Structures are given as C-alpha cells and as structure tokens.
Amino acid sequence: MKDFSHLDSEGAARMVDVGEKSVVRRTATAEGYVTLSPETVRLLRERALPKGDALNTARIAGVMAAKRTPELVPLCHGVNLTSVDVDFELGEDRVGIRATARARDRTGVEMEALAAVSAAALTIYDMCKAVDRGMAIGGVRLVEKTKEPL
C-alpha cells in the first residue's frame, strides 16, 4: 500500500514538511456552479435581489476564503498568495463559478482555489435563498494546476 504523506508511522494525521522544497510560481484553477431558477438568474443579472448584489459579495467571499484556507482545512499550509480571481458566468438556470489562485511558495494552491469556489457558491445560495428554494451547488472540482520556476 502506498505511504500517505499526511500520516505518521502510527497512522496519526500530520502536516507535511515542505521546508526543503523550492519556492516556485504556482497557479490553480477550480470551478463549480449553482443551479437556480431562470427568474433568480434574472434577479442576479439585474442586481435586484432583496439582499443586494450577490455576485459582488460572492467574489469577495471567495477571495476571503482562499486567504483563510488553512483555518478551514486542518493540514493545509498557509501559502504566500499573490492573487485570487473569482469570476462568474450566468447561464439560463445556473451561475458558473471559476476561481484562480496564484502564489510563490513551496506547496500548491489548489485548496485555495477550491475554497474560493465553494465560498462563492455558498454566498450565492445564501443571498438567493429568500427567492429560490430549489437551488443546488455542484460540480466543484480542480480544473488545472501549474508550477514553474521563478
């Protein structure tokens, strides 16, 4: 059986030591979506929801979640984020969410990108729940991750 890097010899969870790895430029992109009614999409598009501009608020929530990922995921390292972008694509009955996290560090930023998408989706859900009880969050996944020398 393959050794798991996050378990010690006794099987206890541990944080991996990345201290000897080189600092490189790292990028990760994640995506997901929220399905909702066409009427709710119209309200989002027109910024006419009772709670206000959900997409702008969700963008901020996504950035904040990326910055706080080590507080949410127990064995995740804090990384030196250089940017986090959160973008939305409005469809007929869904909002597509795409987040890209960038850092210069010793370990990847995929968890930060995934946290950004997840928090943005939860924020959209929260801000739309008064007008749409049939929403669903789905498809949260890592799309790409890269690393390149500085």
Active site residues: 126
The Cα–Cα gap between 110 and 131 comes to 33
Q: How far apart are CA 1 and CA 69, in angstroms?
A: 29
Residues 37/130, Cβ–Cβ less than 8 Å? no
- Angle value at C-alpha 120, between 87 and 65, nearest 5 degrees: 105
Structure-token match 């007929």, residue found: 92
Buried b (16+ CB within 10 A) or exposed e, 55-81: bebbbebbbebbbebbeeeeebbebeb
